[in-house]
Amino acid sequence: MRDQRTYFSKHRDYIILYRDALKWHKSMHKHGNALSEPDDVLASIEAALDGGVVLMVNEMLDVIGGCAIVDGDIQGLFAASGYGSAVVKAAIAYGGCMLDCFDGFLPEFYKQFGFEEYMREPNWTAGEPDVVYMALPVTYL
């Protein structure tokens, strides 16, 4: 049985820890290119610090995943292999109800938690996957 703990905070030092963990996961994970740029997420969290929260999911003192939630918008979600479900469930439990992601495996992954696509737009970089916007239907909230 895994001993997972979820921590949340609005403290600036904790936000820096989140950014550094996201950077590490982005560089090490096989799907790291699908993760948000850590400094972009940090900027949006700092801009909405009063309404945002940062989640870190830990197992045996290792950061296995995390995300930011700003006004219900799940941002910069990352997870070590095999831990994505735990992080998504924690995000939903802490008020996350919408997100955006790159097309590919992520939209299908998020659908298993009830997220539905409501909009899609071309990536700002030609030839890269579309940006898919998803939300939980009202019945999940």
Structural domain that includes position 136: 97-141
What is the chain's pLDDT, residue by residue, as a tens digit (141 residues)?
A: 345 455 555 555 566 677 777 777 777 766 666 666 767 766 666 655 566 666 666 665 566 778 888 889 998 888 877 888 988 998 898 889 999 999 998 999 999 999 999 999 998 888 889 999 999 998 755
Query: Residue 29 has what pLDDT?
Result: 67
Structure tokens at 133: 């916007």
Residue identified by tokens 């916007």 is 133
Whole-model pTM: value is 0.73
Let me know whether 24 and 88 are in one domain: yes
Let me know whether 69 and 137 are in one domain: no
Beta-carbon contacts of residue 91 (< 8 Å; ≥ 6 apart):
55, 67, 69, 74, 77
Distance, in Å, from the CA atom of 119 to the CA atom of 93, rounded to the nearest integer, reads 24
Number of domains the chain is built from: 2
Let me know whether 46 and 105 are in one domain: no
Let me know whether 10 and 49 are in one domain: yes
Let me know whether 92 and 110 are in one domain: no
Let me know whether 86 and 114 are in one domain: no
Query: Residue 23 has what pLDDT?
Result: 76
Query: Residue 49 has what pLDDT?
Result: 57
Let me know whether 41 and 52 are in one domain: yes
Let me know whether 37 and 25 are in one domain: yes
Let me know whether 75 and 118 are in one domain: no
Query: What's the CATH number where 21 sits?
Result: 3.40.630.30
Let me know whether 102 and 38 are in one domain: no
Let me know whether 63 and 102 are in one domain: no
